[in-house]
Structure 1
């Protein structure tokens, strides 16, 4: 089994856990504060990770270049916007459906990967990605009052926010892979860790400046909730470390498509943690996502 597969599954599990923790954190602060917790409290752990690779692991850390800096900055800002929209989306519908809207990302990542990096995928793999996206569509329209049509669901406010979130996530993933591949030295872990540190550092700085200028009260709120925010940061940066490593090893479209397995973890969280009711159509969507993932793994291996 290629190494990127278990790393991606681990990343998806950790990302689901981080989203669950962020949702709870949002009850104590606004969307901006919950978004900042992921980056601001994750940055110190990212630094510790790369220091451990250097001192303990003896890894050769690569030097950065202009291409890397542009790509990592673009990816970092795109990820801030994507995370903010996702956290904001949690307030509209239940946890699972809110997350599902953003999971159009793999299709968008495949398109952005082609446009930005020139990476192509097989037609069978693209079909598997589309199957997963259709499963997401089933989840997104399930349980809407009055049997709302697919058209109404796709053009709802929640759909627009979720699709925008998925687009920014797709752009950020492609930019991070481009940044990592632009590094000329170091192994996979060192290049991924370097990208992670620079990305979270830029994100922390940008959000601190923004909140300092626009929402100082939120900074106070975040500081008071530092304990749960620290956990969000730790889990978030752990997930990012896995994502960055997987995307250094494999094309973004494959990694993010397999990452749809997060919805299966989300399904379990929604049922067993948040005690939310899941419609049959949502269950059918999950099964279709699983079928798409299995097909994708067949083409990747």
Structure 2
């Protein structure tokens, strides 16, 4: 098995754990505060990760360049606003549906990867991605009548538009991060990914701190007081991001993000055990389609 596959699965699990913890934090911190903890508490860990790779493993720290900084900033900003949209989405719908809407990302990531990076996809891979997205759409209509009109209504709803926008911006972020890591040109994909992660989380932390200082300083105090639960979000976030960045340095974005749809399996488990949400037959069918799409992608 190629290394990017287990790394991506680990990233999906950690991302789902982080999102579940953020959903719980939103009630006490608000949307922006619950989004910030992902970056603010993750930054020191990202720097520590680079330090271990350099000091213990012996990897050289790559030299930064303007191309890297440009893509890292674009990716960092996109991830901030995509995260804010996703956390807000959890207040409009349950955890499973909110996450499912954002999983339109693989097709959007494939499009952005094609337009910005010139990445090619085989016909089999495109079909597998489409199967997975059909599963996502089936989940989104799980509690509505199955009809073209219902599908259009579901896709045009405020919840769907926010979810799809979140997925699209996450797609831009994924492509930007891969571009940033590749711009470092060595010494190896793991160190390139770690350096990108540390730089981006540092930029995101500074950006959001300035934003909160200018608009609501009390939010910073609430984030600091919740350090026990917030640090878990930061830990899950930085470990997940390290896995994502490493996988995307090894493999094109569309393939990594498509395999990452396995997160929905973890999402349904979290919905069932953590939030006591129950699934109907259509939701389960959508989940199976997504898993089928993932397997088809790997075969392709």
TM-score range, shorter chain: over 0.9
Corresponding position: 1:80 with 2:80: yes
Total equivalences in the alignment: 299
Offset, 1:254 = 0.1
**What is the Cα deviation at residue 185 of structure 1?**
2.5
Which residue is 1:71 aligned to? 71
Query: Shift of the alpha carbon at 1:280?
Result: 1.1
Residues 184 and 146 of structure 1: CA distance in aligned 2, closer, same or farther (over 3 Å): closer
Q: In the alignment, what sits opposite 1:48?
A: 48
User: Is residue 257 from structure 1 mapped to residue 255 from structure 2 by the alignment?
Assistant: no
Q: Give the corresponding residue for 1:4.
A: 4
Structural RMSD (CA): 1.2
* CA displacement at 1:240 relative to structure 2: 0.1
- Structure 1 consecutive aligned stretches of length 4 or more whose deviation exceeds 3 Å: 144-148
Q: Deviations over 1:86-129 (max 9, x none)?
A: 00000011110010000000000000001111111111101100
| Matched residue, 2:272 | 271
SS at match of 1:256: helix
Stretches of structure 2 that go unaligned for 5 or more consecutive residues are none
- Counterparts of 1:281 and 1:252 in 2: how far apart (Å)? 29
Alpha-carbon displacement from aligned partner over 1:240-265 (angstroms, at most 9, x marks no partner): 00000000000000000000000000
Q: Distance in 2 between matches of 1:216 and 1:145?
A: 46
Deviation at 1:227, TM superposition (A): 1.0
Which residue does the alignment assign to 2:229?
A: 228
Gapped regions of structure 1 (runs ≥ 5): none
> 1:297 & 1:215 partners in 2: Cα distance?
46
- Partner-residue secondary structure (3-state), 1:91: helix
Number of the residue aligned with 1:132: 132
Moved more, 253-262 or 214-223: 214-223
| Residues 1:41 and 1:145: Cα distance change in structure 2 (over 3 Å) | farther
How much does 1:184 deviate? 2.0
For residue 168 of structure 2, what is the aligned residue in structure 1?
A: 167
Query: Where does residue 198 of structure 1 map in the other structure?
Result: 199
Instruction: Report how far residue 80 of structure 1 moved.
Output: 0.2
Distance 2:185 2:124 in 1: 32
Distance 1:212 1:145 in 2: 46
For residues 281 and 80 of structure 1, what CA distance do their matches in structure 2 show?
Answer: 32
For residues 215 and 74 of structure 1, what CA distance do their matches in structure 2 show? 25
Equivalent position of 1:294 in the other structure: 295
